Structure 1
Amino acid sequence: MTVDGAVRRYRVEHRTTYAYSGEVTSSYGRSYLTPRDVPGQRLLAHDIHIDPVPSDRSVGADVYGNITSFFHITTAHRVLAVTGASLVEVDAPVRGQAGAARPWETARPTGANGPLVAEFALDLHPPEITPQIAAYAAESLTPGRPLLDAVAELNTRVYTDFTYMSGATTVSTKMADVFAARAGVCQDFARLAVTCLRSHGLAARYVSGYLATDPPPGKERMVGADATHAWAAVWLPGSGEHDRAGHWIDFDPTNDQFGDERYITVAWGRDYADVPPLRGIIYTDAKDSAITVSVDVSEVDGDHRAH
């Protein structure tokens, strides 16, 4: 195996603003805005700023080890702004993953080699796997094919066969509807790839985070022009004494590529519903509301702090 020694450091600012047509008297919120501190990624600094200031807030970890923040606002308000600011270092991925050439059928989790990942091979409830999706996946998962070869082709096929179309879906759109429409956004394509792999017994997870993007040649970066991103990861079983637990390999069907040092992981789960950036409950008589999201991912050097 060889390693590209590149290390990237990013400042991330993710701001979400809710505006209401009437007064909100109480608001409960839960956020997934804290990037993970995991092998290959280091969280150097982080803060979440909430306006109005919550009367109560706490931080904890969910069942998958994601950091989640809770808050309760009792001050009456018409605007709520939640801003996550982070400083993160990401390593370039290891090339030539051990065990990547193994037939995909041998990568299914079992009681012996994957007790902690077995749930990622199961369908959701209500079910998302359909005969049509399973047949689509089977075109790449041919008998005896190396796992990563099959995943790479599936990645390319989703990228080619489906059109990125903002507004074509919502976070609750069923996979059968996305598959029939052949359109969606990154969350849909990540969920579709995950569903395809699960339809053949492979463990796959949904990953939420950010993708660092560079401006076109000759253009300046536009602050806030980035967006939250989502991709998928497939589990590769351990192949020796130093990799008994196996590991996960990120891939991005929205952009037809495997994960690299441009990908900043915030949280993962079985589906989008496990790790939405923000969700909550409000008490109000307001008839209308609007949400505005601004994300800025910028590469930095030296000793910078989140603010």
Structure 2
Amino acid sequence: MLYDIRLTIRYSYQSPAAANRTVLRMQPLSGPDQRLVSGRVAIDPEPDFRQDGEDFFGNARTEVAYDGQLSEYAFRFAGRVDRNFEPGAFDLSCPLDMLARELADTHSIVPQSPHHFLGRSSRVRHSPEIAAFARDQLEPGLPVLETVARMSRALHSEIAFDPTATDVTTSAEEAFLARRGVCQDISHIMITALREVGIPAGYVSGFLRTEPPEGEARLDGADAMHAWIRAWCGSEMGWVEMDPTNDMRVGEDHITVAMGRDYADVAPVKGSLRTAGLHATSHSVDVVPVV
């Protein structure tokens, strides 16, 4: 499936900002199940410094810097992505009680090694409440993939999607106790739950194609950035992606931008600057199938 994608993130400042240093992860990945046909990150105004490359996990990264003062700027990605991904039909995962042995037999520490996705990370910490919830979903002899699916179903039932309940700084534990949040919160909760029972899990940022109500025209800018998780289900099956916000396996409607241990590794805009007063930010996303 071919998609034309446009992403725009804007910032404006009440007082001009100076000494701006920013890292962008806005360009979709290219890999076995997805290919970036064309596209580039554009920045307005042009920065004083720019460097394009990849981070440790293989995500496209653009580093920019401004030496002068700015009252507003915008980061844009526009391009075409070929997404060709179908979830496997068979569960080849090992039983959960065998996963620790398979992990011990995995000696690689390449970026996609499951060992990077087991312990604490910036946004995923130990939580007794989430750990208890995760243990309640376990069943002796259950395969890892079915355990992951069971976690997704339970969270989809327990956590109400509420964009007013949390913000980007809300912890997984806070969102879990409130039983409310957005895709970022639900993904962090599920990653925490999986790691608590010994299943390596990571965070994926990207886009989800949305369909308008029947009989209505598709709205420009109606899409939004989305988040889901990936779980390591043993050496034979490897990584499997799950969207717990919608309780579904990830498929060709999900377009991947970046992967990491949690949101801190994949944030589309991350950096520092010097300013005072209020600021405003906005973003718009369009994901349009090419027919």
Q: Give the TM-score taking structure 2 as reference length.
A: 0.93
8 A Cα contact 2:36 2:81, kept in partner: yes
Distance 1:267 1:126 in 2: 16
Please, which moves more after superposition, 122-131 or 88-97? 122-131
Instruction: Please tell me whether residue 183 in structure 1 is matched to residue 174 in structure 2.
Output: no
Matches within 5 A, 1:71-86: 71-86=64-79
Q: How many pairs does the alignment contain? A: 286
Q: Match for 2:277: what amino acid?
A: K
Partner of 2:56: 63
Q: How far is 1:248 from its partner?
A: 1.1
Runs of 4+ aligned structure 1 residues displaced above 4 Å come to none
Give the alignment partner of residue 232 of structure 2, picking from 235, 238, 254: 235
Distance 1:235 1:225 in 2: 32
Instruction: Please tell me whether residue 152 in structure 1 is matched to residue 145 in structure 2.
Output: no
Over aligned residue pairs, what C-alpha RMSD do you find? 1.7
Distance 2:208 2:107 in 1: 29
User: SS of 2:141's equivalent?
Assistant: coil
Q: How far is 1:114 from its partner?
A: 5.6
Q: Give the TM-score taking structure 1 as reference length.
A: 0.88
Distance 2:78 2:138 in 1: 40
8 A Cα contact 1:11 1:298, kept in partner: yes
Matches within 5 A, 1:185-264: 185-239=182-236, 247-264=238-255
User: SS of 1:107's equivalent?
Assistant: helix
8 A Cα contact 2:13 2:71, kept in partner: yes
Partner of 2:284: 294
Matches within 5 A, 1:95-114: 95-97=88-90, 99-100=92-93, 102-108=94-100, 110-113=103-106
Q: How far is 1:282 from its partner?
A: 2.0
Q: Match for 1:95: what amino acid?
A: G
Q: How far is 1:237 from its partner?
A: 2.1
Instruction: Please tell me whether residue 133 in structure 1 is matched to residue 130 in structure 2.
Output: yes
Q: Match for 1:248: what amino acid?
A: W
The runs of 5 or more residues in structure 2 that have no matched partner are none
8 A Cα contact 2:6 2:286, kept in partner: yes
Give the alignment partner of residue 36 of structure 2, picking from 13, 34, 43: 43
Please, which moves more after superposition, 163-172 or 102-111? 102-111
8 A Cα contact 2:8 2:74, kept in partner: yes
Instruction: Please tell me whether residue 16 in structure 1 is matched to residue 9 in structure 2.
Output: yes
Partner of 1:273: 264
State the Cα deviation string for residues 260-279 of structure 1 (Å, max 9, x = none): 00011111111111110101
State the Cα deviation string for residues 185-204 of structure 1 (Å, max 9, x = none): 10000111111010011111
> % of aligned pairs identical?
34
Q: How far is 1:172 from its partner?
A: 2.3
Q: How far is 1:125 from its partner?
A: 5.6
* Cα pair distance change 1:126/1:52, threshold 3 Å: closer
Q: Match for 1:57: what amino acid?
A: R
Distance 1:30 1:127 in 2: 21
Q: How far is 1:75 from its partner?
A: 4.6
Q: How far is 1:106 from its partner?
A: 2.1
8 A Cα contact 1:31 1:68, kept in partner: yes
Q: How far is 1:89 from its partner?
A: 0.8
Distance 1:125 1:267 in 2: 16
Q: How far is 1:111 from its partner?
A: 3.3
* Cα pair distance change 1:74/1:97, threshold 3 Å: farther
State the Cα deviation string for residues 232-269 of structure 1 (Å, max 9, x = none): 11112233xxxxxx521110111110100001111111
User: SS of 2:97's equivalent?
Assistant: helix
* Cα pair distance change 1:126/1:15, threshold 3 Å: closer
User: SS of 1:155's equivalent?
Assistant: helix
* Cα pair distance change 1:94/1:157, threshold 3 Å: closer
State the Cα deviation string for residues 54-105 of structure 1 (Å, max 9, x = none): 11101121111111101112353211111111211111314324513x3122
8 A Cα contact 1:210 1:229, kept in partner: yes
The runs of 5 or more residues in structure 1 that have no matched partner are 1-7, 240-245, 302-307
